[in-house]
Structure 1
Amino acid sequence: MKKLSLYLLLTAFTFTADAQDTPAKSTKIEKKQVEIACGECMFKMPGKGCDLAVRIDGTPYFVDGRKIDDFGDAHADDGFCNAIRKATVTGEIVDGRFKAKSVQLVETKKTDKPKSK
């Protein structure tokens, strides 16, 4: 029984030590144009509310450092819960989340609707 307890203790210590030695994988993003919207509403990410997310090279990431309502009402017609927009971002992807240093929305040109006859 003592050997089993010692084995389990050493095994747990080894896994803990390995986890602490492994640095978080990160990818730096510099002034890249991405899609930005509500992760749950528009990118179908799991969650229990409306949270800001970016889609970089086809992969969505929740955003840390900015909130969904920092850019206006998320539930407006052109808000992030109803529309996917473009943004230029700088930051870092760490542990599956985008750590934003800057987020600049790209303004889209609005065209006049054709007049009905």
Structure 2
Amino acid sequence: MKRLFFFLFSLLLATVASAQTGKKLSVKPDPAKPLLSVEASCGKCKFGLPGKNCELAVRTGMDAYYVQGASIDDFGDAHDKDGFCNAIRKAEVQGEVVNDQFRVTYFKLLPASKKEPEKNNTGN
């Protein structure tokens, strides 16, 4: 009986611990911070950043950074025809570059234009 109680308690504890969520993105931009217009896409597939996995990245000018605080899957299937691994999209963001990553506090993906020219730095 003690083993069953211990097992159930451990299972409950593991469930509660895994349900913890990180800091959520702001729904509205902070008027005290600059709103940046960036290109958003897969850092590996479209921006040529080093890495083994498909991860969300933003590019301003010639500089591209992996995003910390939002996932590539937060915006749909990355491998869909208009997903981040196949398209570069415009976005409005707020945040800062820390340790060569963009820590995002606000992220708004703008509607895709009809014929948006794609840039691919990886030669694919």
TM-score with structure 2 length normalisation?
0.63
Residue 57 (structure 1) shift:
2.2
Q: Structure 1: where are the runs of 5+ without partners?
A: 1-28, 112-117
Match of 1:16 in 2: none
- Judged with a 3 Å threshold, the aligned counterparts in structure 2 of structure 1 residues 81 and 31 are, in CA distance, closer, same or farther, namely same
Residue 104 (structure 1) shift:
0.2
Residue 99 (structure 1) shift:
0.1
- Give yes or no for the alignment of 1:30 onto 2:47: no
Matches within 5 A, 1:75-90: 75-90=79-94
CA distance in 2, matches of 1:109, 1:85: 9
Question: In proportion to residue count, which structure has more strand?
Answer: 1
CA distance in 1, matches of 2:113, 2:105: 26
Q: Structure 2: where are the runs of 5+ without partners?
A: 1-32, 116-124
Count of residue correspondences: 83
For residues 11-65 of structure 1, the C-alpha deviation after alignment (integer angstroms, 9 at most, x for no partner) is xxxxxxxxxxxxxxxxxx7211100000000001110010000001220000000
Tell me which amino acid in the other structure corresponds to 1:54. Answer: V
Matches within 5 A, 1:60-75: 60-75=64-79
- Give yes or no for the alignment of 1:45 onto 2:49: yes
Classify the secondary structure of the residue corresponding to 2:85. Answer: coil
CA distance in 1, matches of 2:96, 2:71: 16
Classify the secondary structure of the residue corresponding to 2:74. Answer: helix
CA distance in 2, matches of 1:85, 1:109: 9
CA distance in 1, matches of 2:46, 2:64: 10
